[in-house]
Amino acid sequence: MSLFPFSAIVGMDDLRLALVLNAISPEIGGVLVRGEKGTAKSTAVRALAAVLPPVAVVAGCRFACDPERPVADCPDGPHASARAVTRPTRLCELPVGTTEDRLVGSLDIERALTSGVVSFEPGLLAAAHRGVLYVDEVNLLHDHLVDLLLDAAALGVAHVERDGVSVRHDARFVLVGTMNPEEGELRPQLLDRFGLTVQVAAPRETAARAEVVRRRLAFDAAPEAFAAGYAAVELELSARIAAARAALPAVRLPDRELTRIAAVCAAFEVDGLRADLVTARAALAHAAWEGRAEVTEMDVRAAAALALPHRRRRNPFDAPGLDPGQLDAALDAARQSLDDEDPDRDGPDVDDLEVGDRDDASPGGDADLGPDAGAPAGPDGQAGADGVDGVDGDPDPGPGGGGPGSGAPAAGEASAGDGPAGRPSADQAASAPVGTAAPESVVAPSATFRARRLEVPGVGRGVPGRRSRAVTGAGAVVGAQVPAGRLRDPHVVATLLAAAPHQAARGRSGPGLRLSPADLRQARREGREGNLVLFAVDASGSMAARSRMAAVKAAVLSLLLDAYQRRDKIGLVTFRGEAAQLALPPTSSVDVAAARLADLPAGGRTPLAEGLLLAHRTLARERLRDPSRRALLVVLTDGRHTAGPAPGPAAQLLARSGVAAVVVDCETGRVRLGLAGALAAGLGAPLLTLADLTAPGAAPHAGPDTPGGRRSRPVAAGPDGAATGAGLAATVRALRDAA
């Protein structure tokens, strides 16, 4: 099967450069590719693996040991006189639904317990050694799996300490993660551990877009013939990568350039020193790629443009990005400081002049990455002069270049203070005559705060997160169960209790127990899950007239930040005027929700029932799409309804469907009608005020449970009837009785 050639990719200089630098020096720590859908992220990664030089491995070794430098403690070793074979560089893809044992490997527990055979099954980290590990939609992967990936990528070694087995093996690979920011961001601590990051977008130039389509259609029509046209360029690129790898150990990093790296990283106020290390490694790799014996300012600039965008300090709802002007200013300041320290230096050297000449190009833009004037002719007979770099006359702006999606306004800032032209401010809306609908206005949110946790009652089985109690693959052991398939997490006490009554029938003689597969029990663990938090926000005139929307928006932004930290999906329903609107369909992109909320206008009548009915329909659809993710409805309103039917029937419909809800009463003033309390009673939900959301202490819960909102942790029994909370004494007694 032919893959789309790496050198035939149109544009995307930053992406291709970041991939090549990691191929030269995997110690950089991988590359995170952020971009909208349909921008050939996966195509570029798969094409990279095809141009990487072949590798020599020890025949029969599952850990791809190098025959010239075999690992002394390889689990499949020793390899003193092993035969060497050469194979292409391997591309391993990590699916979103993978498990920890599939990633790092595991002990075959069933064989170990029933047959006494210790057998370690390697995972994807071992399979990817000396190759490429590709994680599509890495932002949807669970945090602890991302942490394991990044640990192995940074250290070059995988440690497996689980199931009573201790294994260490090399795991040096090119880690590439791709993600669509619309589906949610990675946590900052995980984002920081990716070596480089690239923001990709479809070209906006007509000629470039047409060339992309032309090449793709030609490839789909005749993959082998299209790939053959770029075979020579691909071989040249593979040879250049191999030469850069060989030259990398001899490349020198002068103290002047190391000082420049430190100055640039300090100028961006990045946390820690990982940015400095990654930038230095990437600069060394870039110098080797360009065929230089030592690092220059051009290499530092190219490396910093890829290593710093996701490490700069930013507000919670800002997307990662880097302003090229800031980078140029930081480099200029560093150059001036270095020149002041070295008065004998007359001025910029040749490399410094090259940096200025190439500022209009992408960082380190490499014309040799794709076919140039000597590239093969395309299927339509045109010469390859309009190839990878020729078509892309103006490269795509880098991350943070000010384009769409570069980040929402910082929480608490007045991003829409006066509203659109022609709309009155909140103070003008407050002076509207009583009994009339307030004019439409846009109110800026107040400062955010740390919100208390709201959670769904009961125990769910949703995706791992940090909000509500759930049966998950990690957490405290609360019981045991018969494994549905392969045994992954054995519960030793429950297994022994299940086997003890059958020892006489099995003819046991002497110490020890005889186990059968039917005795095996798996631990039942309880941790936390992520939920779907749907906000139903009253944006009517009764809210805007009293200038409450600033406080309400601050409360929702605070809860959004809490949802981001707890790995929830979120949605936003607003109701005002004569109807309700789904302002944001359920998504994991909290920054998009923050942007929608900041621009939310207020004014008009209050169709409360319409808002509740739209929330019910939205939750019903999401229940079909993701039945394991439980939902929490947060209604922020003063309880008034001045348009449409009464909200009582809609509230009862939500209550009958089992939706967990919380009502936040936004009513203020000395005289209060208490309408939000009636709504909370209809929903069977607790009633909070805006002040309650900021109060410290235990989180209120949305439903009946133990008094005071505190939950007791029951001693659970497994479905097989074994009392897993019996304790050590009961276990000893059972074993003694069985003997």
How many other CB atoms sit within 10 Å of the CB of residue 710?
A: 9
> Would you say 556 and 537 are in contact if contact means Cβ atoms under 8 Å apart?
yes
**Share of the chain residues as helix, strand and coil, in percent rounded to the nearest 5:** 40, 15, 45
CA 363-366-367 angle, 5° bins:
135
**Dihedral of CA 289/292/297/300: which sign?**
positive
> Would you say 654 and 615 are in contact if contact means Cβ atoms under 8 Å apart?
yes
End-to-end CA distance of the chain: 62
φ, ψ of residue 469 to 5 degrees: the values are -65, 145
Token reading at 559:
């809860």
**Residue among 62, 168, 214, 274 flagged as catalytic:** 274
Strand order in the sheet with 476-481: 464-472, 522-529, 476-481
Dihedral through CA 503, CA 508, CA 511, CA 516, nearest 10? -60
DSSP assignment of 523-542: EEEEEEE--EEEEEEE-SHH
Listed in sequence order, the DSSP H helices in 626-674 are 648-656
Token reading at 145:
């799996």
Local structure of 733: helix, strand or coil? helix
How far is C-alpha 562 from the chain's CA centre? Answer: 16
710 flagged as catalytic: no
φ, ψ of residue 561 to 5 degrees: the values are -65, -40
Distance separating alpha carbons of residues 299 and 287, to the nearest angstrom: 6
Local structure of 688: helix, strand or coil? strand
Burial of 352 (0-12, 13-18, 19+ CB in 10 A): middle
Distance separating alpha carbons of residues 301 and 398, to the nearest angstrom: 13
- State the amino acid at position 337 in one-letter form: S
Listed in sequence order, the DSSP H helices in 291-420 are 297-307, 324-341, 350-357
Go through 36-57 and write b for each residue having 16 or more CB atoms within 10 A of its CB, e for each that does not.
eeebbbebbbbbbbbbbeebeb
Distance separating alpha carbons of residues 607 and 667, to the nearest angstrom: 17
Peptide bond into 78 cis (omega under 30): yes
Q: Which of 495, 483, 486, 487 is nearest to 519 (CA)?
A: 495
Find the length of the chain.
Answer: 739
Q: Which residues are catalytic?
A: 274
